[in-house]
Structure 1
Amino acid sequence: MTVVDVVSSRARHLSPGCFARVMATGIVSIDLDQHAMRTLALALFGVNLLAWPILLALTGWRLIRFRRELVADFVDPGRGAGFLTLPAATCVLGSQCLMVVHWPGAARVLAVLGALFWTALTYLFLVATITARTKPGFTRSINGGWLVAVVATQSLAVLAVLLAADNPAGNDDWLFGALCLYLLGAALYLLIITLVVYRIVFFPLRAREFTPPYWINMGALAITTLAGSLFVRHAPMHGPLRELVPFVKGFTLFFWATATWWIPLLLMLELWRHGWRHVPLRYEADDWDIVFPLGMYTVSTYTLAQALGLDVLMIVPAIGVYVSLLAWLLVAGSASRRWYRGVIVGGRRGHLR
């Protein structure tokens, strides 16, 4: 098996949500940097500097060589929303460029790319879903993965606020855009989560159907909290945007409280899935959808505590940073082990044949 064969195989079977690993790695890196673990934060930043272009190249390869499979995934309501991890990951990497290192030029480029990816993929996915002639049933269409649309929107809002804070001169336009994206993301969450809750509460849910993307139920709220908290911290001292700060504070606290409420329920459902129904614990690409919400909840709580002056909340990130790092290490280790078995061991067997 040649290198080209391996790359083609990886590209052909690339998961629509493959960029979730960049999102997870990026937010854990930011989390570590907030807690003065610079070496680890920079190491994960380096991982993302490699992972993002490699995944982008594989996606481009798949678009050129295996377009039919890619289009089939994109128009599938149960899988297509995963492609929105591309703009989300692009913006998370841009946020790393400002929060972990100071590369404002790279952050601006990534913000432009993230905005282009977000606009194109969001509208194309919705148009493809709405205009499809044949549609699967409701239970096979809607899942927690749809909330990546919220994550992508809020990740762009977060990056816009950070860029505004990095260049205070004339930052009102950036902040206004960020606020609009924040409110849009909030509206999308309220719309989509209604469908998700209706699906899991009023239709049978098998243990194997409770997949990691359902953790985005909490993760989408956490990144909304982060976007709102950053806006509160960097809002101008005077002008119309300043008058909206009290509204944003209350709305942001509402989303954080709801994110907190989700965590025990999700943990109980994981115990039901693996402990009661005995679904095996094995690596799947969607596992990164658990790491990202855990890291994002920690970072958003840290930022919210600063924005509202609530030092009592600091106990959450003080513990959460180690939880998110452990989750990243476990998933990354499982992914590396599967890659080794599939590529190295499988490649040797293919060569021997």
Structure 2
Amino acid sequence: MTEQAQNVPSPSLRDNGRLQAVRHLFPGYFALVMATGIVSAALLDVGRPGLSDALLAVAVVCLAVLVVLSVLRLALFPRDVGADLAAPDRTYGFFTLVAACDVVGTRFAADGRTTVTQVLFWVALPVWTVLSYGIPIRLVLGPRTRPVLAGVNGTWFIWVVGTQSLVITAATLGSAFPSGTRSAALAAVSLWSVGVVLYLIVATLVLTRLLLLEVTPDDLTPPYWVTMGATAITVLAAARILDMPGNAPAVQAAHPVIVGLAVVLWAFGTWLIPMLVAFGVWRHVLRRARLEYQPQLWSIVFPLGMYAAASMELGRAVHLPIVERIGRTWVWVAFPAWALTFAAMLGRFVLARGWQGTAGDRPSDPAST
């Protein structure tokens, strides 16, 4: 039996368009759930519960659909999943599953449904553990056809996002269940610290790649916005830790560091926004790269929503009203961006292009990063 036959059960299935859409499912498509969930949380924070609940429902449906499609892909096309896991430019997209579970779980906690939060946390934690150790070990010790540095891109920051999403959930559950506050605080502070160090490592690698290797329009894809999204979720995680009951020794010990770095990272993330806009202008206006729907666009929407949510919570946590006002205003940047992207996605489905991303997106096309 050939390798292709092992991946596709029969010739009839091989020609099935829907099955091929499953085969080529973009590994980072859970960013759709991340973006929808965080915009829902931000809308709830500015007093729009109706809109927030509607987006939460969309996020839950999308999460369920994507989980089913991902399980089908793993069962029917394990070699394709393995190829994505081994590819430096795509492998970190799998962390979107971790962040999607945590973002939706945290949003449920805001409604008092912490049982759902707990379930999603215990789904996300083992996935994060396997990916956090498995991917770096594979990239360092595994065979390679080209330098790993050539595959470094904005998706690597999703490693940080997944880590800090666990922090937010742990801190949220620690605040909801006082009996577990101390252990939850220690776990949250420890993971938050790991996330900060990971951000510094990934930022160094990304900057090195951009400065040493030629940059083309296909290289500056939407996931580079996660450079800012990773700072924003780190800030939100810090704010959630600061809101935990003050008798937790871990929070007391790290309090000055957390406050200081949260403000620094918020300022740096704010500074990054014009830079990322400039990259987009260079790509689409000066270099005339076509602007169309692709699943990577959710990697722009998520940072916009996360920046709004993080700004509001940081402003309240450290008593900076201007930062909170910026966040409340930014919600009305994030929500229209979500609506436009969601409408574009629906339009794409009407054209029967499905969940697989842009045509030719597999895996040699640089745009798939």
Same-fold call, TM > 0.5?
Answer: yes
- The answer on 1:295 being equivalent to 2:309 is no
* Partner SS, residue 236 of structure 1: coil
| Structure 2 CA distance for partners of 1:238 and 1:144, relative to 1, 3 Å | closer
Deviation for aligned residue 1:239: 3.8
- The answer on 1:222 being equivalent to 2:232 is yes
| Alpha-carbon distance between aligned partners in 1 of 2:19 and 2:235, rounded to the nearest angstrom | 39
Q: Which amino acid aligns with 1:45?
A: L
| Alpha-carbon distance between aligned partners in 2 of 1:85 and 1:343, rounded to the nearest angstrom | 22
| Alpha-carbon distance between aligned partners in 2 of 1:170 and 1:218, rounded to the nearest angstrom | 32
- The answer on 1:317 being equivalent to 2:327 is yes
Q: Select the residue among 66, 71, 76 that pairs with 1:65.
A: 76
- The answer on 1:306 being equivalent to 2:316 is yes
Deviation for aligned residue 1:10: 2.4
Q: Select the residue among 28, 47, 50 that pairs with 2:39.
A: 28
Contact 2:241 2:251 in 1 (8 A): no
- The answer on 1:103 being equivalent to 2:110 is no
* Partner SS, residue 234 of structure 1: coil
| Alpha-carbon distance between aligned partners in 1 of 2:280 and 2:318, rounded to the nearest angstrom | 32
| Structure 2 CA distance for partners of 1:39 and 1:213, relative to 1, 3 Å | same
Deviation for aligned residue 1:48: 1.4
Deviation for aligned residue 1:5: 4.0
Task: Render the CA deviation track for 1:134-187: whole Å, top value 9, x for unaligned.
Answer: 242355310111111000000000000011111123311011101111000000
| Alpha-carbon distance between aligned partners in 2 of 1:239 and 1:199, rounded to the nearest angstrom | 40
Deviation for aligned residue 1:37: 0.7
Contact 1:175 1:235 in 2 (8 A): no
Q: Which amino acid aligns with 1:82?
A: G
**How many residues are matched?**
342
Contact 2:185 2:248 in 1 (8 A): no
Contact 1:172 1:236 in 2 (8 A): no
* Partner SS, residue 17 of structure 1: coil
Q: How do 1:43-54 and structure 2 match up within 5 A?
A: 43-54=54-65
| Alpha-carbon distance between aligned partners in 2 of 1:48 and 1:138, rounded to the nearest angstrom | 33
Q: How do 1:208-287 and structure 2 match up within 5 A?
A: 208-237=218-247, 239=249, 241-287=251-297
Q: Select the residue among 7, 12, 15 that pairs with 2:23.
A: 12
Q: Select the residue among 74, 94, 97 that pairs with 1:86.
A: 97
Contact 2:92 2:155 in 1 (8 A): yes
| Alpha-carbon distance between aligned partners in 1 of 2:217 and 2:225, rounded to the nearest angstrom | 14
TM superposition score normalised by structure 2 = 0.89
- The answer on 1:174 being equivalent to 2:184 is yes
Calculate percent identity across the aligned residue pairs.
Answer: 33
Question: Which residue is equivalent to 2:207?
Answer: 197
| Alpha-carbon distance between aligned partners in 2 of 1:94 and 1:239, rounded to the nearest angstrom | 26
| Alpha-carbon distance between aligned partners in 2 of 1:202 and 1:67, rounded to the nearest angstrom | 34
Contact 1:88 1:156 in 2 (8 A): yes
| Alpha-carbon distance between aligned partners in 2 of 1:139 and 1:116, rounded to the nearest angstrom | 27
- The answer on 1:137 being equivalent to 2:128 is no
* Partner SS, residue 202 of structure 2: helix
Q: Which moved more, 1:200-209 or 1:41-50?
A: 200-209
Task: Note the aligned Cα RMSD (angstroms).
Answer: 1.7
Contact 2:139 2:148 in 1 (8 A): no
| Alpha-carbon distance between aligned partners in 2 of 1:62 and 1:239, rounded to the nearest angstrom | 45
* Partner SS, residue 292 of structure 2: coil
| Alpha-carbon distance between aligned partners in 1 of 2:161 and 2:243, rounded to the nearest angstrom | 20
| Alpha-carbon distance between aligned partners in 2 of 1:266 and 1:95, rounded to the nearest angstrom | 28
Task: Render the CA deviation track for 1:72-105: whole Å, top value 9, x for unaligned.
Answer: 1110111111111111111111111112x22111
Query: What runs of 5+ residues in structure 1 fail to find an aligned partner?
Result: 345-353
| Alpha-carbon distance between aligned partners in 1 of 2:220 and 2:143, rounded to the nearest angstrom | 28
| Alpha-carbon distance between aligned partners in 2 of 1:104 and 1:206, rounded to the nearest angstrom | 45
Q: Which moved more, 1:152-161 or 1:165-174?
A: 165-174
Contact 1:235 1:245 in 2 (8 A): no
Q: Select the residue among 31, 49, 52 that pairs with 1:41.
A: 52
* Partner SS, residue 50 of structure 1: helix
Contact 1:6 1:343 in 2 (8 A): no
Query: What runs of 5+ residues in structure 2 fail to find an aligned partner?
Result: 1-11, 355-369
| Alpha-carbon distance between aligned partners in 2 of 1:241 and 1:19, rounded to the nearest angstrom | 31
Deviation for aligned residue 1:62: 0.5
- The answer on 1:74 being equivalent to 2:85 is yes
Q: Which amino acid aligns with 1:199?
A: R
| Alpha-carbon distance between aligned partners in 2 of 1:309 and 1:237, rounded to the nearest angstrom | 20
TM superposition score normalised by structure 1 = 0.93
Contact 1:77 1:142 in 2 (8 A): yes
Contact 1:153 1:185 in 2 (8 A): yes
| Structure 2 CA distance for partners of 1:7 and 1:121, relative to 1, 3 Å | farther
Q: Which amino acid aligns with 1:30?
A: A
* Partner SS, residue 209 of structure 1: coil
Task: Render the CA deviation track for 1:117-137: whole Å, top value 9, x for unaligned.
Answer: 111122221222122212423
Deviation for aligned residue 1:238: 6.2
